[in-house]
Amino acid sequence: MWKDVNPATQKRQPIEYPHYKEETWWVASDIKEEIRKMTGKYISLVKIGKIAKENNMVKDSGKGFKLYHKDLIPILIDFVNYYYGGEK
């Protein structure tokens, strides 16, 4: 994704997406990386969104993306271990 810095010169810079790891609400890609570190297994961003919605652990950021509560991680780890079988 790109944004215009100055419309007159049309210089472009990449948009920096915020990382919310220090707070209780995280971006889905950060949660996905934590799951991968802890279990060594992959979970899709769509599946993170569906499970978060079922457990009421999602909110809108107001900037066009969704944030997920960090307490969702143990639920996702249990799902990944059950679905793929076994632990790392």
Q: What are phi and psi of 47, to 5 degrees?
A: -65, -40
- pTM for the whole thing? 0.69
Report pLDDT digits (tens) over 39-86. 999 999 999 999 999 999 999 888 888 999 999 999 999 999 988 876
Q: Is 56 exposed, middle or buried (0-12, 13-18, 19+ CB in 10 A)?
A: exposed
Q: HSE-up of 17 (CA within 13 Å, CB side)? A: 13
Report pLDDT digits (tens) over 64-74. 889 999 999 99
Query: Whole-angstrom Cα distance, residue 70 to residue 30?
Result: 10
Q: HSE-up of 22 (CA within 13 Å, CB side)? A: 2
Query: Whole-angstrom Cα distance, residue 81 to residue 88?
Result: 9
